[in-house]
């Protein structure tokens, strides 16, 4: 948490697990995910339970591999920018920091 970690989901997890020793939290994260997010998608359960529990256990030196639910990575999305849109983004970024300036690229020479 001191390093800027995400705190959003911890309150519910702390309430759920209470005084359970970290060494006793393993696949019980499955129960927590189902109980806390009964209608949540696999991606929601992953983001809200598996990832923070895994991070806490890792930080505490508890080494286990949590089995994440199918679909926990969410659906893949592909976005497209037209050249004009990309150029506008680069122009705004360059205003913030000159290092963000887009370098000209010659498509003929690659």
Q: pLDDT digit of tens for each residue in the chain (110 aa)?
A: 555 555 778 888 888 888 888 777 766 677 888 899 999 888 888 888 888 887 887 777 777 666 666 655 656 666 777 888 888 888 888 888 877 776 665 555 55
Q: How many domains does the chain have?
A: 1
pTM: predicted TM-score of the whole model, two decimal places: 0.52
Q: Would you say residue 82 lies in a domain?
A: no
Query: Which domain covers residue 40, as residue numbers?
Result: 10-59
Instruction: Judge whether 55 lies within some domain.
Output: yes
Instruction: Let me know if residue 71 belongs to a domain.
Output: no
- The reply to whether 106 falls in a domain is no
Count Cα atoms within 13 angstroms, Cβ side, for 25. Answer: 24
User: Helices in the chain by DSSP H: which ranges?
Assistant: 10-17, 28-36, 42-45, 51-59, 83-96
């Amino acid at each position: 948490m001191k390093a800027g970690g995400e705190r959003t989901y911890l309150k519910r997890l702390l309430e759920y697990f209470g005084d359970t020793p970290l060494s006793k939290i393993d696949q019980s994260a499955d129960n927590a995910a189902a109980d806390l997010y009964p209608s949540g998608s696999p991606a929601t359960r992953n983001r809200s339970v598996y990832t923070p529990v895994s991070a806490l256990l890792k930080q505490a030196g508890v080494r286990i591999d949590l089995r994440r639910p199918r679909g926990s990575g969410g659906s893949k999305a592909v976005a497209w920018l037209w050249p004009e849109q990309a150029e506008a983004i680069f122009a705004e970024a360059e205003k913030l920091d000159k290092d963000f300036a887009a370098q000209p690229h010659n498509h003929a020479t690659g």
